[in-house]
Amino acid sequence: MRHISSASGGEERKTVLIAEDNTQSRRLLKDHLEALGYSVVAAVDNGEEAVSEAKRLHPSLVILDLKMPRMGGFDAAKIISSLISVPIVVVTGYSSEELAAEAVESGVFGYIVKPLTRKQLLPAIKLAFERYRQFQELKKEVMDLKDAVEARKLIERAKGILMKRCNIGEEEAFKLLQSHSQKENKKMREIAGIVIEASKLI
């Protein structure tokens, strides 16, 4: 099932494609996004359609349910990431370290744990856009996409260590890694590796 609405010219930067197989959850997500000022250009109920619509519409954000018929969220995210450059968020019933690692591998920049609320949706979207921006900066440093994904894994781990140790936010942790990278004339993945190794000695 699919519902498509046209985005007005002024909303082009805030267009969203959503894929969720539960009709009620899909409508709720659409309502929440529109209340937050986003234009939902497509709302589909499976991963295959999500890939097709993402390729056709080039939205500025994609939100995928993790468990869907015909193609799950992570598989759809991998294909979408290979077709277009876009921040992707997955909706899941649980969270874990394994899930976070698979999210990075799949080109996902954030995830939301059900039940969905408007209160949790906005910060999750903002975080996904911030991580996406960071990844775009990282790609300038690392030409190969596979290397960029591997570098992102290290940097995500290093950010987590710095956030906990220094009691700072994710953006501040990224900037700290970035500034050390520039100061020491080393790539960010090298600085991330140093932070990770140092944390093992503590």
> What average pLDDT score do residues 134-140 get?
82
Say if residue 172 is in the same domain as residue 118: no
In tens, the pLDDT along 61-91 reads 999 999 998 899 999 999 999 999 999 999 9
Say if residue 109 is in the same domain as residue 151: no
In tens, the pLDDT along 50-60 reads 999 999 999 99
Query: Exposed/middle/buried for 16, CB within 10 Å: 0-12, 13-18, 19+?
Result: buried
Say if residue 19 is in the same domain as residue 118: yes
Say if residue 102 is in the same domain as residue 192: no
CB atoms within 10 A of CB 102: 16
Query: Exposed/middle/buried for 9, CB within 10 Å: 0-12, 13-18, 19+?
Result: exposed
Structural domain tally of the chain? Answer: 2
Query: Is 0.75 topped by the overall pTM?
Result: no
Residue 56 inside a domain? The answer is: yes
In tens, the pLDDT along 159-184 reads 889 988 888 888 888 889 988 988 88
Say if residue 146 is in the same domain as residue 119: no
Say if residue 18 is in the same domain as residue 63: yes
| Range of the structural domain that residue 182 is part of | 142-201
Residue 182 inside a domain? The answer is: yes
> What average pLDDT score do residues 20-27 get?
94
Residue 3 inside a domain? The answer is: no
Say if residue 68 is in the same domain as residue 167: no
> What average pLDDT score do residues 100-128 get?
85
Alpha carbon 13 to chain centroid distance?
A: 16
Q: How confident is the model at residue 96 (pLDDT cuts 50, 70, 90)?
A: low
